[in-house]
Structure 1
Amino acid sequence: MTRLRELGIEIGILPSGPRNAISDVSGVTVGHATVIRDDDVIARTGVTVIRPRPGHVRTHPLFAGCATLNGNGEMTGLEWVRESGLLTTDLALTGTHSVGVVRDSLVAIETAHDTFRNAFSLPVVGETADLAFNSGNAQFVTGEHVRAAYESASADVEEGSVGGGAGMVCHGFKGGIGTASRRLDASAGGWTVGVLVQANHGTRPDFRVDGRPVGRDARLAHVPLPARTQPGGDPPMPPGSGSIIVIVATDAPLLPGQCRRLATRASIGIGRVGGGIQDSSGDIMLAFSTAPQNVPTEGYAGGHPLVAPHSAVPHQALDDLFRAVVEATEESIINAMLAAPTMTGARGFTAYGLEPDALLAAFSSAT
C-alpha cells in the first residue's frame, strides 16, 4: 500500500503526526470487519468502528459538533449531538442498508455494561452506498461483525477496501477508508487533528491533488470507469452518486460550537479534491474533542455541580485547527484511493484502483 506522502506529495503546510492517522489523537482507535463473499451471494461490504476514547464514552462524554454539506445520506444520532453538543457513544461507518444492524449492535454492546443496562443509547452510525458491488440489498453485516470491529480497534489504522469502505468508489476509482493527521506548532498550542473518511463520492474529471486537475490527465482519464460486465439488476448509479463521511478528532480543548466549526471546514477538504458537487452525494461531517472536560454524565445526580467549568481555545486562535482539518481531509481522501486495489463484485461490477505511478506522473505534468 502506497500513501500520498510516499510519492513525495505533501498536502498543505502543517506536519503530520507520527502515524499520519486519526489515531495520532491519543486514545482514538479504529477497528474494521470486512465481509467478502463469493459463494451463493457476492458481498463486498463491512463495518468500521471508531472508538474516541478507551472504555465507555458515556462515562466521560466528549464535546462534539456536526455539519452537512449535502444531506443525501444518513448518520444516526446527530440530533442528540446537535441538541447537547455531546458525543456519548462510539461511532461506526458502514454500507447504506446496514445502518440499522450496526446501530442496534452498538446499543447492545453498550447496554450489556451493568452501569448502562437501563440507559438509552443513540449511537452515531454513518453510511455510504456499496450496493453496486453486492448481490441483493447488501444486508450482509451482522452483530458479530460489529463486535469484531469494536474489539479489534487499535491505533494502527488500515485503509482502503476494509470495513465500511469495502465496497466504495471515489472519483471513478476504487475508494474506501482513508486517514491523515496534522500537528500544530507548539506556539499554536501543539494540538493534533486527525481525520478519517469513508470516501464514495466524486467524478473523474473533478479529481484534484493539491490543486492540480489530475483526473483530466490522459493517464488517469483513460482508466475505465466503474461498470458491469454482466447484465442484471438495477442500472448502476451515475458517476458521483455516492457519499462521503468525515470524522474529525482533536485533543484541542473545544466547546461544541467550535467542534461544529471544525466539522464544517472538512467540506473545504472535500472540495479541494473535487467533491461536494453532486446532488446525489451525502456529505456529512462530525468532529469531537478528546480534551478532558467536566461534563456531567447523568443530569445532576451523583454529586455533579450545578455549574461545570470548561476550558476552550479562543475563537480567534482556531485558524491553525481549521487549516489542519482541511489539509488532513484532503489527504485522507487520496490515501483512501491509493490504498484500494481494483475490485470486482456482483454482476462483474469493477472499479479500478488508482495506480501510484500513474497518479505521480499525472501530478507532475498537471498545472
Structure 2
Amino acid sequence: MTATQRCRDLGITLGIFPPGRHNAITDVPGVRVGHCTISEGEGPLVTGKGPIRTGVTIVEPRPSVWRSPVFAGAHRLNGNGEMTGLSWIRENGQLTTPIGLTNTHSVGAVRDAIIAEIHRDRGDDESYFCLPVVAETYDGILSDINGQHVRAEHVEAAFRALSDGPVPEGSVGSGTGMICHEFNGGIGTASRLVPNAHSGAYTLGVLVQANHGQRRRLRVDGVPIGERIPTETVSSPYEDLRKEMAGSGSIIVLIATDAPLLPHQCERLAQRGALAIGRTGGIGEHNSGDLLLAFSTGNDTMPGVGLGELDFEDIPVRMASDTVVELLFEAVIDATEEAIVNSMLAATTTVGRDGITAHPLPAEQLRAAVVGARENAEGAAS
C-alpha cells in the first residue's frame, strides 16, 4: 500500500451513494480546481525567508461566474477563522466570484489577486463591483506564515492550473502546510451521485482544506482510528510544541451540487456538512475556524454582476424538492467524511520549519482497522 491511496482504494466505502467519475468536486459540471504550491527552504524559522510550506487553491463554480452567479449559503460551526464575502452571500444568496483558499495571513493578497483576475476577465467593463470569497486555515506550525510569501503571481498560477479533471490532494496548493488530527492534512475531495426523477442523478461534490482535530478523537466509519494509531505509533507534529495546541487549527468545507437549490437550501446543506466534521472527531474547538460554504449550479438564469441599468423582469428559477434535499443531506455528510480522510491519506511526509514533521495517515493501518472492524461485525451478525 502507498500513502497516496484514497479511501476507496483501501476498500473503505462511506454511505450508500456511488461517487462520480473522479470522486471529486470537479464531478459537478462546470466546477474547476487549480493549485499553486509554494515549498521552499529547510531548517530553523527565519521570518521573511522561510522555510515555506504554503500555497493557493482556486475553486471556480463555473467559468466567469460573475456572468451567471450561483445560489449559495454558508454555515459556521466555530468562527475562529475567516471567509470573506459571506455578508453579501447571506444578504443576497448568490456567489459571484471564484473561491480562493490559502493560509491565515495571506487572505488579503489572494482576495486582491482574484479581483485583478476578474478585472482581466471583464475587459473594458468598469461598471461593476466584486466581493471575492477567500477562506483560510493556519499553516504556521510548518511554515513561515508571517513572511507572507503568497503573492499575486501564485494566485495567477492557480487560475492557470484550473481543471475539471481529478483533483490533486493532500499537501498541495493551499493545503501544503496543513495538519489534520495530528497527521499531515490539507486538500481532500469526494463526490456522490444522488438519484432524482429529473435527470437520473444529481452530482454533489465536496472539497476540504483540513487543518483541525486531535488524534485521540479521530474516527473513520465509526472506528476509533486515533486510538488504533496513537502518537506513540505515528508521531505528532505537536510533540515539539505545546501539546495543548493540537486541534487548534481549522477546516474549510466547500460543497457544490448541480441540484437546483435556492439559497436557504444551500445553507441547510452547509449545516449538514458540519455533521461530518463531528463524525470524524472534530468538535469545533475554541481556537478552530470551521466554516462551510455550499453552492448550487442548478440554475443559470441569474443576471450578471454589474452597475448598469436595473432589470425589472421576473427571473425563472428551479427548486429541488424536500425529498431530494434530504438525500443530499446524507450525501454531503458521507462525501465530507471521505474528503477529510482522503486529505490525510494523500498527504506526504512534510518537514517544516525548525524540523517539525507531519506524517500522513498510514494507509495499511487504516485499512486493517476499518475493514477488520466491518468483517468482525459481519461475523458476529452471522
The alignment partner of 2:266 has SS state of helix
Question: Structure 1 pair 221/260, CA: closer, same or farther in 2 (3 Å)?
Answer: farther
Match of 1:19 in 2: 22
**Would you say the 8 A contact 1:90–1:123 is kept in 2?**
yes
Instruction: Give the C-alpha shift of residue 363 in structure 1.
Output: 2.2
Match of 1:168 in 2: 178
Alignment partners' CA distance in 2, 1:42 and 1:337:
22
The amino acid that maps onto 1:36 is: S
Match of 2:187 in 1: 177
Alignment partners' CA distance in 1, 2:123 and 2:18:
43
Alignment of 1:2-81 (within 5 A): 2-38=5-41, 40-54=49-63, 56-81=64-89
Structure 1: stretches of 5+ with no match in the other structure = none
The alignment partner of 1:31 has SS state of strand
**Would you say the 8 A contact 1:128–1:245 is kept in 2?**
yes
TM-score (norm 2): 0.90
Alignment partners' CA distance in 2, 1:80 and 1:342:
39
Identity %: 49
The alignment partner of 2:264 has SS state of helix
Match of 2:46 in 1: none
Match of 2:324 in 1: 317
1:344 aligns with 2:351: yes
Match of 2:45 in 1: none
Of 33-42 and 202-211, deviating more is 33-42
Alignment partners' CA distance in 2, 1:324 and 1:116:
40
**Would you say the 8 A contact 1:197–1:244 is kept in 2?**
yes
The alignment partner of 2:55 has SS state of strand
Match of 1:105 in 2: 113
The amino acid that maps onto 1:125 is: V
Instruction: Give the C-alpha shift of residue 294 in structure 1.
Output: 2.0
**Would you say the 8 A contact 2:26–2:32 is kept in 1?**
yes
RMSD: 2.0
**Would you say the 8 A contact 1:111–1:118 is kept in 2?**
no
The alignment partner of 1:46 has SS state of strand
**Would you say the 8 A contact 2:127–2:306 is kept in 1?**
no
The alignment partner of 1:192 has SS state of strand
Alignment partners' CA distance in 1, 2:156 and 2:244:
31
Match of 1:150 in 2: 159
Match of 1:130 in 2: 139
Match of 1:88 in 2: 96
Match of 2:366 in 1: 359
The alignment partner of 1:330 has SS state of helix
Alignment partners' CA distance in 2, 1:207 and 1:93:
24
The amino acid that maps onto 1:354 is: L
The amino acid that maps onto 1:22 is: I
**Would you say the 8 A contact 2:50–2:147 is kept in 1?**
no
Instruction: Give the C-alpha shift of residue 365 in structure 1.
Output: 4.6
Count of aligned pairs between the two proteins: 362
The alignment partner of 1:132 has SS state of coil
Instruction: Give the C-alpha shift of residue 228 in structure 1.
Output: 6.6
**Would you say the 8 A contact 1:63–1:288 is kept in 2?**
yes
Alignment partners' CA distance in 1, 2:258 and 2:124:
27
Instruction: Give the C-alpha shift of residue 302 in structure 1.
Output: 5.5
Match of 1:208 in 2: 219
